[in-house]
Amino acid sequence: MEAPLGRGPLPKAELHVHVEGAAPPDLVRRLAEKYSVDIGGLFNEDGGYDWQDFSSFLAVYDKASRLFRAPEDYALLSETYLRQLAAEGAIYAELTISPDHAAGAGLSYAAYVGGLAEGIERARAETGIEARMIAIGVRHFGAQAVERVALQVTGAPHPLVTGFGLAGDEREGHPASFARAFRIAGEAGLGLTAHAGEFAGPESVAAALDFLKVRRIGHGVRAIEDPALVERLAAEGIVLEVCPGSNLALGLYGALRFHPVNLLRRAGCRITLNSDDPPFFRTTLGQEYASCAEVFGWSREDLIAITGCAIDAAFCDDETRAALRRRLPAVPAQWQT
Ligand code: ADE
Ligand code: ZN
C-alpha cells in the first residue's frame, strides 16, 4: 500500500552528484593531515573551497580529489555523503564517479569502486538509502581517455555501477568524438547520461541526444534558448538532471527566479533536482528542493512528483525501482511529470 501524502520529511532522490564534489572540507583537511600534504590555496578564510570561475573550480576539485588515496578514504566519503542525504529525506542517490580522478591519486578502478561500494553498503544498512554509481569520462581528458573508462567499467562489471556518463569542460570536444565510448557502455547495458547545455548552448544538448543516444542529460538547462529543442525534450521524455544551485554558483543565472527550471517543467520537460558538487556550491539536495519550492511556488505534491520522476529515470533494476516507488506517497495524476 502506498504511504499517505503526510507531512513527514519529503522523500527525495538525487541523480546527479559528483562523489569527489561532495567531499566535505573537513574530511579533505583530515586527509591532508593523514598524508602530510600542503593544501595551501584549496580553502578560503571561511574554510570553504576557494574558486572563482569554472576553470578554477575544476582545478580545486582536482586538487581535493588527489587526497583520496585509499579505498577506505572513498568508503568514508560515500558513507558520509549518503548519510547526510538520508538525513535530508533522500531515499535514492546516484553517485557520479570518476576513475580518472582515482587513478590520479594512484588508486586502481577495482580499489576505487570497492571502497565506494563499502561506504554505500554501510550507509544503506544504517539509513535505508539506496544508491548506485555512474562512471564518467572527463571530456577535457580527451576521447581516448573517455573510451578507456568505458572499457574499464564494462570489462569489470560491478553490480552497483549501473551508468556511464560524460562530465568535465563542455567547451572541449564535440559529442561525436565520444560516440564510440557511449556505444561500448550502452551495449553493456549501462544507463547513459551526459553533461550538456550547462556552459555550451542548446546545440550541445541536441548533439548529446543524437550522437551519444542518452535519455538523460546532466543540466540541459540551456535548452530553454531553443523552443524547438524544448518541444523535442518534452516529446521524447528526456530527463534533465537540473542543478539550480550549481548554475547560480557558476554564474549561469543571476538569481533562482531567472533560472529556467520552472519554464522547462511547465513546457512538459521531465526534470529532477540535484546538487552537483554541494559543498563547492554551498548547497544541499534539501536546499535545492526547498528553494525551488519557495521561489516557484511548488507544492509538496510537485516535489514528490519530481522525486517520482527521478525514481522512474534511475539507473537501477525494476525490482529496486518498484521498492523505491512504494516509499513515495501517492500523488494525483495532474502532478506527474
Ligand atoms: N565535474 C564536476 N562538476 C562538474 C560540472 N558542474 N560540470 C562539468 N563537470 C563537472
Ligand atoms: Zn555535474
Ligand nearest to the CA of 242: 2
Binding-site residues for Zn(2+), in ranges, read 16, 18, 195, 276
**DSSP3 helix / strand / coil % (the chain, rounded to 5):** 50, 15, 35
Helix (H) or strand (E) holding 191: strand 191-196
- Indicate which residue's Cα is closest to atom 6 of ligand 1: 276
pLDDT at 261: 98
Confidence (pTM): 0.96
What is the CA(225)–ligand 2 centre distance, in A? 20
What pLDDT digit, counting tens, does each position of 130-165 carry? 999 999 999 999 999 999 999 999 999 999 999 999
What's the fold here for domain 10-24+71-329? TIM Barrel (3.20.20)
pLDDT at 3 over 90: no
Round the average pLDDT of the chain to a whole number and report it: 95
Name residues contacting ligand 1 (CB within 6 A). 18, 21, 61, 167-168, 195, 198, 246, 276-277
Instruction: Quote the CA–CA distance of 270 and 253 in Å, as a whole number.
Output: 21
Shortest CA distance to 289 belongs to which of 302, 276, 308?
302
Q: Please report how many Cα atoms fall inside a 13 Å half-sphere around the Cα of residue 119, on the Cβ side.
A: 25
Shortest CA distance to 89 belongs to which of 7, 2, 1?
7
Q: Exposure pattern of 277-290 as b/e (b: 16+ CB <10 Å)? A: bbbbbebbbbbbbe
Q: What is the DSSP letter of 276?
A: B
For the chain, percent of residues with pLDDT exceeding 90: 93
The sign of the CA dihedral 248, 50, 275, 5 is negative
Instruction: Quote the CA–CA distance of 68 and 76 in Å, as a whole number.
Output: 10
pLDDT confidence band for 7 (50 / 70 / 90): low
pLDDT at 9: 84
Instruction: Quote the CA–CA distance of 162 and 95 in Å, as a whole number.
Output: 10
Distances (CA, A) of 241 to 54, 105, 292: 19, 28, 14
Region of residue 236 (phi > 0: left; psi between -120 and 50: alpha; otherwise: beta): alpha
Helix (H) or strand (E) holding 94: strand 90-97
Shortest CA distance to 196 belongs to which of 227, 241, 237?
241
Residue type present at position 130: E
| Cell numbers 551495449: residue | 187
- Indicate which residue's Cα is closest to atom 10 of ligand 1: 168
Helix (H) or strand (E) holding 93: strand 90-97
Q: Give the strand order in the sheet containing 191-196.
A: 12-18, 90-97, 130-138, 161-167, 191-196, 216-219, 239-242, 270-273
154 close to 114: Cβ distance less than 8 angstroms: no
Other CB atoms within 10 Å distance of the CB of residue 322: 10
110 close to 151: Cβ distance less than 8 angstroms: no
pLDDT at 336 over 70: no
17 close to 288: Cβ distance less than 8 angstroms: no
pLDDT at 6 over 60: no
What is the CA(6)–ligand 2 centre distance, in A? 32
Closest ligand 1 atom, residue 61 Cα = 2
What pLDDT digit, counting tens, does each position of 88-137 carry? 999 999 999 999 999 999 999 999 999 999 999 999 999 999 999 999 99
Closest ligand 1 atom, residue 21 Cα = 2
pLDDT confidence band for 1 (50 / 70 / 90): very low
Q: Exposure pattern of 26-53 as b/e (b: 16+ CB <10 Å)? A: ebbbebbeeeeeeeeebbeeeeebebee
* Catalytic residue check, 198: yes
